[in-house]
């Protein structure tokens, strides 16, 4: 009886983060969370998690350092370029046709877990350029969200060092960036159709009636139960026939398969199923 209810140091640490910061890392893959915390501990010379927990409780600044280690923000413009080619060749034409045949209405896209904004701006450049070339007039609304306030701040600023632009097509570089004091700023034409917001994917979706949700390299960090929950949120945020794009090493699994059908296996593109059992229950 004595040990019933006793938490491991890792569980205790996860609980402390949730109470003090609000982010619930019990929804993430435990092995990864444990590994990253051990990494942070060894950086500070701690071998025992309970000792590190004491340090975390006594040093408020350590929480931010730990959160930076726990959430990975690696991203880039036109990351996995073949995905952007598929968006341009297959998905955008389909969305544009759908919008034009349904009368007035904007194209609505959510880049969920967008880190510092490069993914969101890449989608915007690709779509705005297509509309310009085809001389199609459609309103475009692209939303970028991330749990990290700092990432959203950088994304909203939209200024990047030259090195970050390496994978941006030359034409887009000249057309959609302008030289500013600190590097390259996103041009107003792109900025005006993009907005960023801090949002936790486990909260109800902040946008509805979406044509496309792009959520790449985020779900891979969550456990299966939590992925199902996020899939449910995405399903309710998408318009009928809406499309979901995941990262190359991610897939819809478990309960999510009732909500989405795979339409492009190579690029992990799914379409919302409209008559899932979940709709029937609602
Ligand atoms: C590796 S980055 C992916 C960035 C971009 N999607 C890409 O593929 O280039 C993962 C992002 O997911 C964000 N993230 C992690 N947990 C999240 C959550 N619960 N809600 C929203 N964003 C989250 C992290 O802050 C991080 O910026």
Model confidence, pTM? 0.93
Any ligand 1 atom below 6 A from CB of 113: yes
Cα(156) to ligand 1 centroid in Å equals 16
3 state DSSP class of 109: strand
Cα(148) to ligand 1 centroid in Å equals 8
pLDDT confidence of residue 104: 73
Helix axes 9-21, 30-44, angle to 10 degrees: 90
Q: Which residues contact 38 (CB under 8 A, 6 or more apart)?
A: none
In tens digits, the chain (282 residues) has pLDDT values of 444 567 899 999 999 999 999 999 999 999 999 999 999 999 999 999 999 999 999 998 999 999 989 998 999 999 999 999 999 999 999 999 999 998 778 999 999 999 999 999 999 999 999 999 999 999 999 999 999 999 999 999 999 999 999 999 999 999 999 999 999 999 999 999 999 999 999 999 999 999 999 999 999 999 999 999 999 999 999 999 999 999 999 999 999 999 999 999 999 999 999 865 444 443
Q: Using one digit for the tens of pLDDT, what is the confidence trace for 215-226? A: 999 999 999 999
pLDDT confidence of residue 105: 84
CB distance 234 to 213 below 8 Å: yes
Cα(100) to ligand 1 centroid in Å equals 32
Pick the CATH number of 81-281 from 3.20.20.60, 3.40.50.150, 3.30.450.20, 3.30.2020.30: 3.40.50.150
3 state DSSP class of 203: coil
Q: What is d(CA 32, CA 36) in angstroms, rounded to the nearest whole number?
A: 6
What the block records as the tokens of 187 is: 């041009």
Please, how many CA atoms are within 13 Å of residue 194, restricted to the half-sphere of its CB? 30
Q: Looking at the DSSP assignment, which residues form a beta bridge with residue 177?
A: 186
Residue showing tokens 């139960």:
225
Beta strand ranges found along the chain (DSSP E) = 107-112, 140-146, 159-160, 177-180, 183-186, 194-198, 210-215, 238-246, 260-264, 269-272
Any ligand 1 atom below 6 A from CB of 217: yes
Query: Minimal CA–CA distance to 73: which of 190, 13, 154, 191?
Result: 154
Residue showing tokens 């092995």:
31
Q: Using one digit for the tens of pLDDT, what is the confidence trace for 65-119? A: 999 899 989 999 999 999 999 999 999 999 999 999 987 789 999 999 999 999 9
Please, how many CA atoms are within 13 Å of residue 104, restricted to the half-sphere of its CB? 0
Query: Minimal CA–CA distance to 10: which of 147, 222, 148, 31?
Result: 31
Determine if residue 274 is left, alpha or beta; phi over 0 gives left, psi from -120 to 50 gives alpha, anything else beta: alpha
pLDDT confidence of residue 103: 74
Domain boundaries, the chain: 9-70, 81-281
Please, how many CA atoms are within 13 Å of residue 69, restricted to the half-sphere of its CB? 18
Pocket test for ligand 1, best of 121, 144, 146, 268 (most atoms within 8 A of CB): 146
């Amino acid at each position: 009886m004595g040990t019933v209810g006793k938490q491991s140091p890792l569980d205790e640490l996860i609980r402390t983060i949730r109470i003090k910061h609000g982010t619930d890392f019990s929804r993430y893959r435990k092995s990864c969370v444990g590994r990253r915390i051990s990494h942070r501990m060894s950086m500070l010379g701690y071998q025992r998690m309970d000792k590190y927990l004491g340090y975390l409780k006594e040093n408020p600044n350590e929480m931010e350092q730990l959160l930076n280690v726990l959430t990975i923000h690696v991203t880039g413009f036109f990351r996995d370029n073949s995905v952007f080619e598929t968006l341009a060749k297959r998905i955008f034409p389909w969305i544009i046709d759908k919008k034009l045949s349904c009368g007035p209405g904007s194209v609505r896209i959510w880049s969920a877990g967008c880190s510092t904004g490069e993914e969101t701006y890449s989608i915007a450049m690709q779509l705005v350029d297509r509309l310009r070339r085809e001389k199609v007039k459609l309103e475009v609304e692209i939303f970028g969200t991330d749990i990290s306030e700092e990432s959203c701040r950088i994304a909203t600023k939209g200024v990047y060092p030259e090195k970050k632009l390496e994978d941006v097509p030359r034409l887009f570089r000249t057309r959609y960036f302008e030289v500013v004091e600190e590097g390259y700023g996103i041009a107003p034409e792109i900025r005006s159709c993009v907005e960023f917001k801090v949002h936790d994917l486990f909260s109800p979706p902040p946008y509805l009636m979406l044509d496309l949700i792009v959520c790449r390299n985020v779900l891979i960090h969550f456990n299966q139960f939590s992925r199902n929950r996020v899939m449910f949120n995405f399903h309710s945020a998408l318009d009928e026939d809406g499309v979901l794009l995941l990262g190359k090493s991610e897939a819809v699994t478990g309960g999510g398969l009732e909500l989405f059908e795979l339409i492009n296996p190579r690029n992990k593109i799914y379409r919302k199923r409209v008559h899932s059992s979940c709709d029937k229950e609602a």
